[in-house]
Amino acid sequence: MTAENTDASTPSQLGVTASLSLILDELRATTTEVTKHRGDDLDDLADTLATARRIFVLGAGRSGIALQMTAMRLMHLGLTVHVVGDVTTPAIGPGDVLLTASGSGTTTSIVRGADAAVKAGANVTVLTTAKESPLAALATAVVIVPAAKKLDRSGTASAQYAGSLFEQTVMLLGDALFHSLWLRSGRSADELWPRHSNLE
Protein backbone atom coordinates (compact mmCIF):
# COMPACT_ATOMS: atom_id res chain seq x y z
CA MET A 1 0.00 0.00 0.00
CA THR A 2 1.79 3.12 -1.20
CA ALA A 3 1.04 6.70 -0.26
CA GLU A 4 -0.57 7.20 -3.68
CA ASN A 5 -3.27 4.57 -3.26
CA THR A 6 -4.07 4.85 0.45
CA ASP A 7 -7.26 6.88 -0.18
CA ALA A 8 -8.58 4.24 -2.58
CA SER A 9 -8.08 1.37 -0.13
CA THR A 10 -11.09 -0.58 1.04
CA PRO A 11 -11.82 -1.07 4.76
CA SER A 12 -10.61 -4.69 4.52
CA GLN A 13 -7.26 -3.48 3.16
CA LEU A 14 -6.86 -1.08 6.08
CA GLY A 15 -7.36 -3.68 8.82
CA VAL A 16 -4.64 -5.09 11.04
CA THR A 17 -5.07 -8.55 9.52
CA ALA A 18 -4.37 -7.19 6.05
CA SER A 19 -1.32 -5.33 7.33
CA LEU A 20 -0.03 -8.46 9.03
CA SER A 21 -0.45 -10.42 5.80
CA LEU A 22 1.42 -7.74 3.87
CA ILE A 23 4.28 -7.75 6.37
CA LEU A 24 4.54 -11.54 6.35
CA ASP A 25 4.50 -11.60 2.53
CA GLU A 26 7.29 -9.03 2.38
CA LEU A 27 9.36 -10.87 4.98
CA ARG A 28 8.88 -14.16 3.17
CA ALA A 29 10.00 -12.63 -0.13
CA THR A 30 12.99 -10.87 1.43
CA THR A 31 14.26 -13.83 3.45
CA THR A 32 13.78 -16.12 0.47
CA GLU A 33 15.90 -13.76 -1.62
CA VAL A 34 18.58 -13.64 1.09
CA THR A 35 18.76 -17.42 1.45
CA LYS A 36 18.72 -17.91 -2.32
CA HIS A 37 21.51 -15.49 -3.11
CA ARG A 38 23.24 -14.92 0.25
CA GLY A 39 23.04 -18.31 1.97
CA ASP A 40 26.83 -18.75 1.82
CA ASP A 41 27.29 -15.25 3.25
CA LEU A 42 25.04 -16.16 6.18
CA ASP A 43 27.01 -19.34 6.83
CA ASP A 44 30.26 -17.37 6.66
CA LEU A 45 28.83 -14.92 9.17
CA ALA A 46 27.83 -17.77 11.48
CA ASP A 47 31.35 -19.22 11.22
CA THR A 48 32.85 -15.82 12.04
CA LEU A 49 30.67 -15.45 15.13
CA ALA A 50 31.33 -19.01 16.28
CA THR A 51 35.10 -18.57 16.22
CA ALA A 52 35.23 -15.04 17.64
CA ARG A 53 37.06 -14.36 20.87
CA ARG A 54 34.31 -11.89 21.75
CA ILE A 55 31.35 -10.45 19.86
CA PHE A 56 30.41 -6.77 19.93
CA VAL A 57 27.11 -5.56 18.44
CA LEU A 58 26.56 -2.04 17.14
CA GLY A 59 23.42 -0.60 15.60
CA ALA A 60 21.24 2.49 15.80
CA GLY A 61 17.51 2.86 16.22
CA ARG A 62 15.28 -0.14 15.58
CA SER A 63 17.97 -2.19 13.82
CA GLY A 64 20.15 -1.62 16.88
CA ILE A 65 17.37 -2.99 19.10
CA ALA A 66 17.12 -6.04 16.82
CA LEU A 67 20.86 -6.60 17.23
CA GLN A 68 20.50 -6.38 21.00
CA MET A 69 18.00 -9.24 20.77
CA THR A 70 20.63 -11.22 18.87
CA ALA A 71 23.24 -10.35 21.48
CA MET A 72 21.01 -11.75 24.23
CA ARG A 73 20.53 -15.04 22.40
CA LEU A 74 24.26 -15.40 21.67
CA MET A 75 24.90 -14.82 25.38
CA HIS A 76 22.41 -17.60 26.18
CA LEU A 77 24.53 -19.81 23.94
CA GLY A 78 27.55 -19.10 26.12
CA LEU A 79 29.37 -16.69 23.82
CA THR A 80 30.99 -13.55 25.21
CA VAL A 81 28.90 -10.69 23.85
CA HIS A 82 28.95 -6.94 24.45
CA VAL A 83 26.58 -4.19 23.29
CA VAL A 84 28.54 -1.15 22.20
CA GLY A 85 27.55 1.83 24.32
CA ASP A 86 27.01 -0.10 27.55
CA VAL A 87 29.17 1.28 30.34
CA THR A 88 30.74 -2.16 30.93
CA THR A 89 31.73 -2.74 27.29
CA PRO A 90 35.52 -3.24 27.05
CA ALA A 91 37.82 -2.18 24.25
CA ILE A 92 37.63 -4.26 21.09
CA GLY A 93 40.75 -5.95 19.74
CA PRO A 94 42.28 -8.75 17.66
CA GLY A 95 40.19 -11.91 17.51
CA ASP A 96 37.00 -9.98 18.23
CA VAL A 97 34.08 -9.46 15.86
CA LEU A 98 31.91 -6.37 15.51
CA LEU A 99 28.42 -7.29 14.28
CA THR A 100 26.68 -4.26 12.76
CA ALA A 101 23.44 -3.42 10.96
CA SER A 102 22.69 -0.33 8.92
CA GLY A 103 20.24 -0.17 6.06
CA SER A 104 22.05 2.67 4.33
CA GLY A 105 25.54 1.58 5.34
CA THR A 106 26.31 5.23 5.98
CA THR A 107 25.13 5.79 9.57
CA THR A 108 27.94 7.95 10.94
CA SER A 109 28.25 6.38 14.40
CA ILE A 110 28.26 2.84 12.99
CA VAL A 111 30.80 3.58 10.24
CA ARG A 112 33.00 5.32 12.81
CA GLY A 113 32.74 2.34 15.17
CA ALA A 114 33.50 -0.11 12.38
CA ASP A 115 36.54 1.90 11.33
CA ALA A 116 37.80 1.91 14.92
CA ALA A 117 37.27 -1.86 15.15
CA VAL A 118 39.27 -2.48 11.98
CA LYS A 119 42.11 -0.28 13.25
CA ALA A 120 42.06 -2.29 16.52
CA GLY A 121 42.50 -5.53 14.59
CA ALA A 122 38.92 -6.84 14.88
CA ASN A 123 36.74 -8.24 12.11
CA VAL A 124 33.63 -6.33 11.06
CA THR A 125 30.44 -8.05 9.88
CA VAL A 126 27.57 -6.15 8.28
CA LEU A 127 23.87 -6.52 7.57
CA THR A 128 22.84 -3.81 5.09
CA THR A 129 20.82 -3.01 1.99
CA ALA A 130 23.77 -1.18 0.42
CA LYS A 131 26.55 -3.30 -1.05
CA GLU A 132 28.46 -0.23 -2.18
CA SER A 133 28.62 1.65 1.11
CA PRO A 134 31.32 2.86 3.50
CA LEU A 135 30.24 0.29 6.10
CA ALA A 136 30.30 -2.65 3.68
CA ALA A 137 33.75 -1.57 2.51
CA LEU A 138 35.09 -2.05 6.06
CA ALA A 139 33.60 -5.52 6.49
CA THR A 140 35.07 -9.00 6.22
CA ALA A 141 31.56 -10.48 5.95
CA VAL A 142 28.56 -8.74 4.38
CA VAL A 143 24.96 -9.91 4.06
CA ILE A 144 22.87 -7.81 1.67
CA VAL A 145 19.20 -7.52 2.59
CA PRO A 146 16.93 -6.57 -0.36
CA ALA A 147 14.76 -4.12 1.57
CA ALA A 148 13.93 -0.44 1.45
CA LYS A 149 16.37 2.02 2.96
CA LYS A 150 15.07 4.24 5.77
CA LEU A 151 14.72 7.30 3.54
CA ASP A 152 13.06 5.40 0.68
CA ARG A 153 9.41 6.45 0.69
CA SER A 154 8.64 5.34 -2.87
CA GLY A 155 6.88 2.13 -1.80
CA THR A 156 8.81 0.21 -4.46
CA ALA A 157 10.99 -2.03 -2.30
CA SER A 158 8.47 -2.19 0.56
CA ALA A 159 4.99 -0.89 1.27
CA GLN A 160 5.91 -0.55 4.93
CA TYR A 161 7.04 2.66 6.59
CA ALA A 162 10.69 3.70 6.41
CA GLY A 163 13.18 0.90 7.17
CA SER A 164 10.69 -1.45 8.81
CA LEU A 165 11.31 -4.39 6.46
CA PHE A 166 15.07 -4.15 6.94
CA GLU A 167 14.74 -3.95 10.71
CA GLN A 168 12.37 -6.93 10.83
CA THR A 169 14.73 -8.93 8.64
CA VAL A 170 17.68 -8.10 10.89
CA MET A 171 15.75 -9.59 13.82
CA LEU A 172 14.88 -12.75 11.87
CA LEU A 173 18.43 -13.20 10.58
CA GLY A 174 19.74 -12.78 14.11
CA ASP A 175 17.44 -15.51 15.37
CA ALA A 176 18.41 -17.73 12.43
CA LEU A 177 22.11 -17.23 13.19
CA PHE A 178 21.51 -18.10 16.82
CA HIS A 179 19.45 -21.17 15.97
CA SER A 180 22.10 -22.47 13.58
CA LEU A 181 24.86 -21.94 16.14
CA TRP A 182 22.72 -23.59 18.82
CA LEU A 183 22.21 -26.68 16.65
CA ARG A 184 25.94 -26.80 15.97
CA SER A 185 26.68 -26.66 19.68
CA GLY A 186 24.65 -29.78 20.46
CA ARG A 187 23.50 -28.23 23.72
CA SER A 188 20.01 -28.73 25.05
CA ALA A 189 17.58 -25.96 25.94
CA ASP A 190 18.02 -26.97 29.58
CA GLU A 191 21.76 -26.28 29.31
CA LEU A 192 21.14 -22.78 27.95
CA TRP A 193 18.40 -21.85 30.42
CA PRO A 194 20.63 -21.08 33.47
CA ARG A 195 22.06 -18.10 31.54
CA HIS A 196 18.68 -16.33 31.56
CA SER A 197 18.50 -13.50 34.04
CA ASN A 198 17.17 -14.41 37.48
CA LEU A 199 17.04 -10.78 38.64
CA GLU A 200 13.79 -9.85 36.92
Average pLDDT, whole number, for the chain? 91
158-182 exposure pattern, b = at least 16 Cβ within 10 A, e = fewer: bbbebbbbbbbbbbebbebbbebbb
Mean pLDDT to the nearest integer, 128-137: 94
In a domain, 112, yes or no: yes
Highest mean pLDDT among 32-46, 107-121, 134-148: 107-121
Mean pLDDT to the nearest integer, 68-91: 97
pLDDT score recorded for residue 7: 54
pLDDT score recorded for residue 37: 82
Query: pLDDT at residue 190 above 90?
Result: yes
Rounded Cα–Cα distance for residues 84 and 92 (Å): 10
Residue 79 belongs to what domain range? 39-185
Rounded Cα–Cα distance for residues 55 and 81 (Å): 5
To the query of whether residue 167 is one of the catalytic residues in this protein, the response is yes
Burial class (CB in 10 A: 0-12, 13-18, 19+), 109: middle
Predicted TM-score (pTM) of the model is 0.89
In a domain, 178, yes or no: yes
CATH number at residue 55: 3.40.50.10490
Query: pLDDT at residue 26 above 70?
Result: yes
Amino acid at 60: A
In a domain, 194, yes or no: no
Nearest alpha-carbon partner for 99 in 192, 165, 170: 170
pLDDT score recorded for residue 77: 96
In a domain, 152, yes or no: yes
pLDDT score recorded for residue 2: 47
State how many domains the chain has: 1
Tell me the per-residue pLDDT of 51-72, one tens digit each, with 9 for 90 and over: 999 999 999 999 999 999 999 9
Tell me the per-residue pLDDT of 85-104, one tens digit each, with 9 for 90 and over: 999 999 999 999 999 999 99
pLDDT grade for 1, boundaries at 50, 70 and 90:
very low
In three-state form (DSSP H/G/I as H, E/B as E, the rest C), the secondary structure along the chain is CCHHHHHHCCHHHHCHHHHHHHHHHHHHHHHHHHHHHHHHHHHHHHHHHHCCCCEEEEECHHHHHHHHHHHHHHHHCCCCEEECCCCCCCCCCCCCEEEEECCCCCCHHHHHHHHHHHHCCCEEEEEECCCCCHHHHCCCEEEECCCCCCCCCCCCCCCCCCCHHHHHHHHHHHHHHHHHHHHHHCCCHHHHHHHCCCCC
Rounded Cα–Cα distance for residues 28 and 59 (Å): 23
Q: Which of 4, 33, 132, 167 is catalytic?
A: 167
Mean pLDDT to the nearest integer, 43-57: 95
In a domain, 200, yes or no: no
In a domain, 30, yes or no: no
pLDDT grade for 38, boundaries at 50, 70 and 90:
confident
pLDDT grade for 151, boundaries at 50, 70 and 90:
low
Residues whose CB is less than 8 angstroms from the CB of residue 22 and which lie 6 or more positions away in sequence, other chains included: 1, 159, 160
Mean pLDDT to the nearest integer, 145-156: 73
